[in-house]
Structure 1
Amino acid sequence: MTGDTNGSEDGGREDEVRGAPRIPGPRSAADDLDLSAVPLPPPVPATPPEEPRPGPQRAAEPAPQPTTPEPETDVAPRHPSDATDATDPPGPPVLAHGVLKALLGAWALAACSAEETEAVEAHLTECAACADEALRLRDAVGLLHTDRSLDLDPTLRTRVIDACLSRRPADIPVPDWASPYDAETARLDALLRDIGDSEWHAPVRLKWFESEQETTRKTTVAGVIGHLMAVDGLVGTALGLDVPLGDGTRGPGADWPLSPTARTERYWSAGRRPPTGRIHEPWREQSHTLIRTVSFAGRRVCELSVSYGDFALPMHDALLDRAFECWVHGGDIADAVDYPYEAPSAAHLNRMIGLVTRLLPAALAERRRTGLAGPARHLVTAGSPGRSLHLEIEGSGGGDWYIPLDSPAALGSPAHAVAQVALDGVEFCQLVAGHVPPVEAAAGQEGDREAIRDVLFAAASLSRL
Structure 2
Amino acid sequence: MNGPFDGGRNGGRGAEEPDDVRGIPRIPGQRSAADDLDPPATDVLRRAVENNARAARAAEQSREREVPDEPDTTDETDRADETDEADEAAGLDSGAGAGAGADMAPGTPPEPAHPPEPAGERDMTGGRDPYGPPPPRPPTGPVGPPPSHSVLKSLLGAWALAACSPEETTHVEDHLTECAPCADEALKLRDAVGLLQADRNLDLPPLLRSRVLENCLDRRAARIPVPVWATPYDAETARLDALLRDFGDAEWHAPLQLKWFEKEEQAARRATVAGVIGHLMTVDGLVASALGLDDPLGDPSALSPTDRTEAFWRAAHPPPTRTIREPWRDQSHTLIRTVSFAGRGVAELSVSYGEFALPLRDAMIDRAFECWIHGVDIAEAVDYPYPAPSGPHLHVMIDLAAQLIPSALAARRRAGLASPARQLVVPGSPGRSLHLEVEGAGGGNWYIALDSPAAVGTAERAVAQVALDGVEFCQLVAGHISPEEAAAGQDGDREAIRDVLFAAASLSRL
Give the alignment's TM-score, normalised by structure 2.
0.65
Determine if the alignment matches structure 1 residue 202 to structure 2 residue 254: yes
Secondary structure of 1:284's aligned partner? helix
Aligned mate of 2:207, from 155, 174, 193:
155
CA positional deviation for 1:157: 1.8
CA positional deviation for 1:255: 3.1
Secondary structure of 1:462's aligned partner? coil
Aligned mate of 2:496, from 426, 448, 451:
451
CA positional deviation for 1:125: 9.1
Q: How far apart, in 2, do the equivalents of 1:148 and 1:409 lie?
A: 53
Question: Which amino acid is the alignment partner of residue 235 of structure 1?
Answer: V
CA positional deviation for 1:166: 2.6
Determine if the alignment matches structure 1 residue 192 to structure 2 residue 237: no
Partner in structure 2 of residue 408 of structure 1: 453
Q: Structure 1 residues 134 and 350, CA, compared in 2 at 3 Å: closer, same or farther?
A: closer
CA positional deviation for 1:216: 1.4
Structure 2, unaligned runs of 5 or more = 1-72, 92-134, 141-155, 177-182
Q: Structure 1 residues 217 and 119, CA, compared in 2 at 3 Å: closer, same or farther?
A: farther
Secondary structure of 2:467's aligned partner? strand
**1:257-298 deviation digits (Å, cap 9, x = unpaired):** 111111111112212221111211111110010010011111
Secondary structure of 1:456's aligned partner? helix
Determine if the alignment matches structure 1 residue 183 to structure 2 residue 235: yes
Partner in structure 1 of residue 222 of structure 2: 170
CA positional deviation for 1:233: 0.6
Secondary structure of 2:327's aligned partner? helix
Partner in structure 1 of residue 306 of structure 2: 261
Q: How far apart, in 2, do the equivalents of 1:426 and 1:188 lie?
A: 18
Secondary structure of 1:310's aligned partner? coil
Partner in structure 1 of residue 443 of structure 2: 398
* Residue pairs, 1:281-292, within 5 angstroms: 281-292=326-337
CA positional deviation for 1:91: 9.4
Q: How far apart, in 2, do the equivalents of 1:105 and 1:226 lie?
A: 50
CA positional deviation for 1:155: 2.5
Q: How far apart, in 1, do the equivalents of 2:265 and 2:87 lie?
A: 96
Pick the structure with greater CA Rg: 1
CA RMSD of aligned residues (A): 3.6
Task: Report % sequence identity.
Answer: 68
Q: Structure 1 residues 382 and 315, CA, compared in 2 at 3 Å: closer, same or farther?
A: closer
Question: Which amino acid is the alignment partner of residue 437 of structure 2?
Answer: E
Alpha-carbon contact 2:394-2:442 (below 8 Å) kept: yes
Q: Structure 1 residues 125 and 225, CA, compared in 2 at 3 Å: closer, same or farther?
A: same
Alpha-carbon contact 2:428-2:455 (below 8 Å) kept: no
Aligned mate of 1:312, from 339, 357, 368:
357
Q: How far apart, in 2, do the equivalents of 1:315 and 1:227 lie?
A: 19
**1:228-279 deviation digits (Å, cap 9, x = unpaired):** 111001100111111334xxxxxxx343511111111111221222111121
* Residue pairs, 1:418-457, within 5 angstroms: 418-457=463-502
Q: How far apart, in 1, do the equivalents of 2:308 and 2:320 lie?
A: 15
CA positional deviation for 1:139: 4.1
Q: How far apart, in 1, do the equivalents of 2:263 and 2:498 lie?
A: 15
Aligned mate of 1:330, from 375, 378, 397:
375
Alpha-carbon contact 1:421-1:442 (below 8 Å) kept: no
Alpha-carbon contact 1:431-1:441 (below 8 Å) kept: yes
Alpha-carbon contact 1:243-1:286 (below 8 Å) kept: no
Q: How far apart, in 2, do the equivalents of 1:439 and 1:399 lie?
A: 22
Secondary structure of 1:151's aligned partner? coil
Structure 1, unaligned runs of 5 or more = 1-15, 34-86, 93-103, 246-252
Q: How far apart, in 2, do the equivalents of 1:137 and 1:334 lie?
A: 36
Partner in structure 2 of residue 212 of structure 1: 264
Secondary structure of 1:219's aligned partner? strand
Alpha-carbon contact 2:429-2:456 (below 8 Å) kept: no
- What number of residue pairs does the alignment pair up? 374
Give the alignment's TM-score, normalised by structure 1.
0.71
CA positional deviation for 1:364: 0.6
Q: How far apart, in 2, do the equivalents of 1:361 and 1:449 lie?
A: 17
CA positional deviation for 1:151: 3.0
Partner in structure 2 of residue 235 of structure 1: 287
Secondary structure of 2:431's aligned partner? coil
